[in-house]
Amino acid sequence: MPQQAWSSKRERQYQHIKQGLTKRGSSEDKAEEIAARTVNKERARSGEAEQRSATSTKDISSSRRGGLRSHSGPGGRTKAQLYEDAKRKNIEGRSTMTKAELEKAVGRR
């Protein structure tokens, strides 16, 4: 099944996101991937896409999330990142730990 082309609005959105990411130091490939994923998620949220996941429709929009995070400074590592660090360090009990517990466990080794 051929993929439909994005609307001109979505193409402008893609270019804007890609340009912003490359200005902040992302590689061209990474910027293209992130921009495409963002645009596709917005298409799913607004009903423009044929397929959509539950997280695409129930999560807050990418633009809103970016606006909320833009002035809050670095938030530290995510629970998933901490879990991966714990996994690399072979920390036992990591699957039942909270984010705070993972931070303590990863930080002390």
Global pTM value: 0.49
Inform me whether the pLDDT recorded for 98 exceeds 90: yes
**What are the phi and psi torsion angles at 2 (to 5°)?**
-70, 145
Structurally, the chain folds into a number of domains equal to: 2
Q: How many angstroms separate the CA atoms of 49 and 6, rounded?
A: 10
What pLDDT is attached to residue 2? 41
Would you say residue 53 lies in a domain? yes
Question: Are 29 and 53 in the same domain?
Answer: yes
Question: Are 45 and 19 in the same domain?
Answer: yes
Residues 57, 44: contact at Cβ < 8 Å?
yes
Inform me whether the pLDDT recorded for 58 exceeds 50: yes
Inform me whether the pLDDT recorded for 35 exceeds 60: yes
Would you say residue 41 lies in a domain? yes
Q: How many angstroms separate the CA atoms of 96 and 94, rounded?
A: 6
What pLDDT is attached to residue 93? 95
Question: Are 59 and 83 in the same domain?
Answer: no
Would you say residue 3 lies in a domain? no
Calculate mean pLDDT across residues 96-106: 92
Rounded to the nearest 10 degrees, the angle between the axes of helix 99-107 and helix 79-88 is 40
User: Domain range spanning residue 91?
Assistant: 76-109
Q: Which of 85, 104, 105, 10 is nearest to 49 (CA)?
A: 10
